[in-house]
Structure 1
Amino acid sequence: MGQIRDFWLPELRSLGVKWVKVYNHDGAYDFVEALLAEGFCPILRIFRPHPNPGRLSIKDLVDVDTYVRIGVRYFEFNNEPDRDAEWKGGWVPANGIDIVVEDAIADMDAILTRGGMPGIPSVSCGSKWDLIGKIIEKGHRDLLEGPVWQAIHNYSRNRPLDYPYDLGNQEGAAYTQRFYRTLLEEQPNFDPWHGRSLSEINQMRRDFANPGATIQDDTACWLAYEFFNARNRRHLGRSIPILSTENGYRVGENTDPRYPATTPDLHMAQTLEACRVMMGVSQRFNPAPDYYFCTAFTLMVNQAVGSQSDWWESYAWYSNQWPDRVLPISKALRAEPKRLRRWQNSTAIGARVTLSGAVLHPGSNRTLVLDQKGQELARVVLDN
């Protein structure tokens, strides 16, 4: 914990980080306490190696109780259940979505009862599994009236932030010789164009353009939150909070051959612009909508804090694999002026709001008091 308190927490603050996803591994309790004490908002992942099928165990629920008592509210209990790797046995059954939703209903109810706010599980990047629709289909719309939120994994791949609306996807707009050479001259330890000439790249962009494409056609991108919000509004008539619990750019990624692989400098430029979108100061793109609470750039640090995972090391911003042991985005974010996010909704501060939630220890004739800095704002006597 000494290194975390002395270096990593100040580093998080200097980067402008506010939300931190934490797994409930050994040592997580002290880390979460430190995050809360320093004003960060943790999202706690109740980790299970292969969570499907299955429900939270007694030990898992004891962890929820423990973390609620110290101030954690956001809980994630499943991960990309549409993927074979997240299932015992290594494959998703034909009725997998029904099994996942039945388990999710039980787990969400258990977390709500304990005073936590459960996240509707994220599906994999680009998946269109409709968990909220299934929850409603199974007669549990009321569950969505509580303090719940939706987790998403809107990885950008190697696509621009405005994909699928960018000119490359819509019109097959050509790259310039200058842009092509600039990426080559950056000299990462890979060829960002994968041996393709400028003419080959531009021909591919023309051949595979998608005029008129919208987020409804391809959700494997940063703007996936627009797709999920539109679907939520169709189901519920309103938005619910959407929080990224994994996303961002990965150096070397080359998922879409119409675009260059993500170099360290591209990673910096695109991630920095995403942060400006979240702060509402981007000169290129609209501010993040109010329902989109946070990003979760994956991954800030891995082996440098003791992880043994080689897989996640390729994602890490801070790693011995990079010159100076850190990606350029770190320096750029430290230098970026931080701006308090302004909500886009025009509702005046002080307007009437509705608070939904669960009382941890309800009882007949107990009084629930809403208090702000010692001043009582409202009270209500519970019926049962």
Structure 2
Amino acid sequence: MRVWGCICLIGLWASFANASPALPGDIIGDLNRLQTQLRDAQYASVVTQATQQANRLQAGNAADRWASALYQQLAANALARQGQPGEAAGRLSQARDLSGGEQAQAARWLREEASLRRAAGQTTQASELLAEWLASRDAATSAEDYWKLTRWLADDQRWQEAADWLERSLGQTAEPDANQRRLALVVYQRTQQTDQALDVLLGGLDEGSDAAHWRQAAALAQQSGQSGIAAALWDTAWRLGRLDEDDERWQLISLHMAGGTPARAAEYLEQWLEAGDVVRDEATLRLLANAWHQARDKTRALDAWQALAMLSKDGSDWRQYGQLAFAWGQDERAEKALTHAQALGDDQAGEWLATLEQSPPHSL
């Protein structure tokens, strides 16, 4: 509680320096005497004497009420240093009520009261007071004060209010720091604003970001329907070496297939097959064939389908290879593939061969 005491003490010195209405000399002397006691840690004595003086003066003229407010501040300071933030906050509230035309000082007390309420566990009231202070014309606010309220509301799981104040916090900030980005990300996720959450993550990503941040960004991109961005993020993380596990390898392929970049998926598969990083089995070759097919790379797609059919020795694979060759005007390849499929017992291959024989050469 030493921090709150220091804040209140500084506020009192500022009040003396700019006191209006003017205080009588004996009152100023008494306030200074109590300040000395406060510095000497005579907290109980300060509370007792300041309270007596505050009560005595609160019903007087403007100068008396201003003096009463300053005595309440001294009592608040002493109570805060004794570890009684709730009681200290109550005294500052009374000081504000007595402040009269001293709006700038009342605004400072409002901010200090908010912090004391927070320390006392009076979280709802603390947030309301800080919001009131931020809206005050007499408040000397900073971006950090906006972030503080956003953080308080998030800590209390008042997510929509936190989101509202987050927008104001960002408006006060040229470039959020790492802690502010983390707070913004949590608030956006809690309020299901995935696009905004993704923007926050993208703004903080760089070559030094760890795997968790790259995964999180890719997941948010998927949630917001931006599959291409998800694929690009995963691809970047893979090339940076942040992702290198086997399941992450296959997620990379899946994202490229979903994100509209199947050729990139196929290139990775061919690279890994050549290096022996993945097994040359039916599942891998089927994925490769489909990737080149989606990429509309006719030569590579047909070669991949042929390789798959030769490995699987399945009539349906030979037929699909033949159908694709026929659709792309590769009649000779189509005939060989369909003939092979028919020899392996595929029921539909004969119909396709008949269609091929009846069609003009290279009609499709």
**TM-score normalized with structure 1 length:** 0.23
**TM-score normalized with structure 2 length:** 0.24
Q: Which has the higher helix share?
A: 2
Higher relative contact order (CA 8 A, sep 6+): 1
